Structure 1
Amino acid sequence: MTKLWLAMGAGYGLLGVVLGAFGAHALRERLSEDMLRVWETAVNYQFWHALALLALGLLASRLAGAWLTVAGAAFAVGILLFSGSLYLLAFSGVRVLGAVTPFGGLLLIVGWVCLLVAVLR
């Protein structure tokens, strides 16, 4: 699982740079200030949780267990749902997409709880 989490963290980090640059340059003139802030929030959370996946991958080389696996899966899917729904909301303006965001946020919280439990065990 070590390589999986490291690869996912690196991939999400790479995508965060691309999407951050895209928002800063290509979308600055196309999005309202509010929607640009939504885009930036998505990039910010994606970066922090990409770093969490990288840390988890490094930790998985020393610790093993289901708690780390669940944490990694929660982070990976949480990023997709949380940041992904915000990207789509900002880009499309379809407000109903914001209904998905809390599920992603909940998964990110679950990821942190599982990581905490894995470290404390």
Structure 2
Amino acid sequence: MNIQLVIGALLALSGVMLGAFGAHGLKSMLDSAALNTFEIGVRYQLYHGLAILMLAGLTQYASLPWCIRAAYFFIIGSALFSGSLYLLVLTGHKWLGPVTPLGGLCLMLGWLCVLVALVKGKAPY
């Protein structure tokens, strides 16, 4: 079992669940700005859960160590970025605001690792 792929699937699954919770459970409790912030967290969580799953297919063409680094950056970035947005909306704790950009930086580093993985990889052409 590849733990990164399991986490990617869990991120995607929980992203769908949180999206449904936001659309149905939080709609009457939050204003539109807070709902939009929550939805951004869900969207980025889903994107990066799927990105982790995509990495498994890339390893045929890309550098495996760099794909693994990308997966870890996506996992950490999703937890920091999406997690801080969820907690900010649900708790109102403003101190979580600075955590969100750190998560975004991790997500960007993950995509940089994907780029390096492809450049250093074994493309069939």
TM-score normalized by the length of structure 2:
0.89
* Cα offset, 1:32, TM superposition: 1.4
In structure 2, stretches of 5+ residues that fail to align are 121-125
Map 1:14-29; keep pairs closer than 5 Å: 14-29=13-28
Map 1:97-116; keep pairs closer than 5 Å: 97-116=96-115
Name the CA distance, whole Å, in 1 between partners of 2:9 and 2:15: 10
Identity of aligned residues (%): 46
Map 1:32-111; keep pairs closer than 5 Å: 32-60=31-59, 63-111=62-110
Cα distance, 1:61–1:4 mapped onto 2, change above 3 Å? farther
Instruction: Please list the CA deviations of residues 84-114 of structure 1 after superposition, one character each: whole Å capped at 9, or x if unmatched.
Output: 0000011111122111000000000000000
Name the CA distance, whole Å, in 2 between partners of 1:37 and 1:95: 17
RMSD: 1.5
Aligned residues: 120
Given residue 109 of structure 1, which amino acid in structure 2 is its aligned partner?
Answer: M
- Asked if the contact 1:5–1:57 (Cα under 8 Å) also holds between the matched residues in 2, the reply is no
1:3 corresponding residue in structure 2: 2
Name the CA distance, whole Å, in 1 between partners of 2:2 and 2:59: 9
In structure 1, stretches of 5+ residues that fail to align are none
2:123 corresponding residue in structure 1: none
* Cα offset, 1:59, TM superposition: 2.1
* Cα offset, 1:3, TM superposition: 2.3
Look at both structures and tell me which one has the larger radius of gyration over its CA atoms: 2
Given residue 52 of structure 1, which amino acid in structure 2 is its aligned partner?
Answer: A
